[in-house]
Amino acid sequence: MEKLIVKGKKKLSGVIRISGSKNATLPILAASILNKNKIEINRVPVVKDVITMVELLKHIGSNIKFDLKKKKIFIHNENRKLKTTAPYKLLKTMRAGVIVLGPLLSRFKKAKVSLPGGCAIGSRPVDIHLFVLKKLGAKIKIKNGYIFAETKKGLVGKRIRLPSISVGATENALIAASYARGTTYLSNCACEPEIQDLTNFLKKMGVKIKWIGNRKIKILGSQNLKPTIHKVMFDRIESGTFIIAGALTGKRLKVLGIETKILKKEISILKKMGVKLKVNKNDIIVLSSKNIKPVSINTQPYPGFPTDLQAQIMVLMTRANGISKIKENIFEKRFMHVPELNRMGAKIKILGDSSFIYGPQQLNGAEVMATDLRASVSLVLAGLAAEDRTIINRVYHLDRGYEKLETKLRKCRANIFRKN
């Protein structure tokens, strides 16, 4: 099994170009199921989850090509009959696969989609996804680990309030409603920038969608969709990860290809911690930052601080002069990186849904185990800041969501390589 070896304490300097967003690409690919015309998607990140979603679409019969060099996906499904089953073997490693349920059901009036596999960061049920689809007119049964959904006369627009905020359920509902008859009003929606990107893609296909404030969407469904070209937005979690890497070990690190107005919360918290940032419209320069200050943060749905950056900022908090606190509000078991960071010399205590980080502590290298996507990158960050050598096992988690992480870091003088 592959491992990453990091030799710490190298000062990072140079330029890092951010890839397209994984979490925007996945629902956009799912939404392609609605359209039989030509689709071209640009700036697609070459990461394992996207490759799995492409395999899933191929499995159902989609005529889809992924040009890995150009990072482009082409889809053309005219005169193709698509299957409506998404099997366990493709959903077990990628929970987001469940977002094909809405489009399959909406377009073909039936779908059989595996319940997603278990997840290290908590139970992650799909009840809200099913709730909204039922409201749109689906009959749903769960049997043998599969969701069986059907709608005799097709989905019909409705006024629906999501019982709680969910990114995936908002996406499933938005895509399904885009092909339903009539108008749907969704309220209490997630409003992550990736959902805005999905909205832009659906609008280009010809669906009339209007956001009313932050959490309400009006969707006028259409079955008459158009050929579409779309460029995926930047990956805001990858951006945050590299900005934190710069804050931890940087001399002068420039993070390019982003929209800083989307990163307001992250920037304000890093500034509060004393990180020296030069913020421009489409890039950020992170300068050598000493005297890091402790802060208290809560993970929240957008526009709050993202749970997907919680593990990374925790590493920076080990540097702060005092006690920092993180309250994790989104996932129940998302402190799996804490014991590993403690093995590297951090002093972090978990109390219920909160972690207390006692700084400053100098981290030192150790052999550690990655447990999920964002936890594994936090161990890379810890390795970059630590004395001596860190060995990170189970790096396949990292490959699910980070494009060329080591290459990008090596270009900025990090000493990091992969070994079998």
HEC string for 42-62: ECCCCCHHHHHHHHHHHHCCC
Shortest CB 118 distance to ligand UD1, Å:
12
Shortest CB 163 distance to ligand UD1, Å:
8
CB of 23 or CB of 249, closer to ligand UD1 = 23
Angle between helix 22-31 and helix 48-59 axes, rounded to 10 deg:
10
CB of 258 closer than 8 Å to CB of 18: yes
Q: How far is CA 244 from the centre of its chain?
A: 17
Q: Based on C-alpha coordinates, what's the Rg of the chain?
A: 22
DSSP helix/strand/coil, 387 = strand
Structure tokens at 211: 């956001």
- Residue positions counted in the chain: 420
Question: Has 189 been annotated as catalytic?
Answer: no
CB of 24 or CB of 386, closer to ligand UD1 = 24
Shortest CB 299 distance to ligand UD1, Å:
8
Shortest CB 399 distance to ligand UD1, Å:
15
Residue burial 375-402, b: 16+ Cβ < 10 Å; e: rest: bbbbbbbbbbbbeeebbbbbbebbbbbb
Listed in order, strand segments (DSSP E) in 125-179 are 139-143, 146-150, 159-161
Q: Which of 119, 189, 191, 412 is catalytic?
A: 119
Helix intervals (H) in 181-304 = 193-205, 236-249, 264-272
What distance in Å separates the CA atoms of residue 114 and residue 371, rounded to the nearest whole number?
A: 23
Structure tokens at 60: 């159902």
CB of 408 closer than 8 Å to CB of 390: no
CB of 122 or CB of 182, closer to ligand UD1 = 122
- 202, exposed or middle or buried, with CB in 10 Å at 0-12, 13-18, 19+? buried
Angle between helix 101-108 and helix 167-179 axes, rounded to 10 deg:
10
CB of 34 or CB of 169, closer to ligand UD1 = 169
Q: Which residue is nearest to ligand UD1 (CB)?
A: 168
CB of 312 or CB of 361, closer to ligand UD1 = 312
CB of 119 or CB of 182, closer to ligand UD1 = 119
Shortest CB 396 distance to ligand UD1, Å:
17
Q: Which residues bind ligand UD1 (CB under 6 A)?
A: 23, 26, 95-96, 122, 124-129, 166-169, 190, 307-308, 330-331
CB of 164 or CB of 280, closer to ligand UD1 = 164
Shortest CB 141 distance to ligand UD1, Å:
17
What distance in Å separates the CA atoms of residue 189 and residue 170, rounded to the nearest whole number?
A: 6
CB of 189 closer than 8 Å to CB of 163: no
Q: Which residues are catalytic?
A: 119
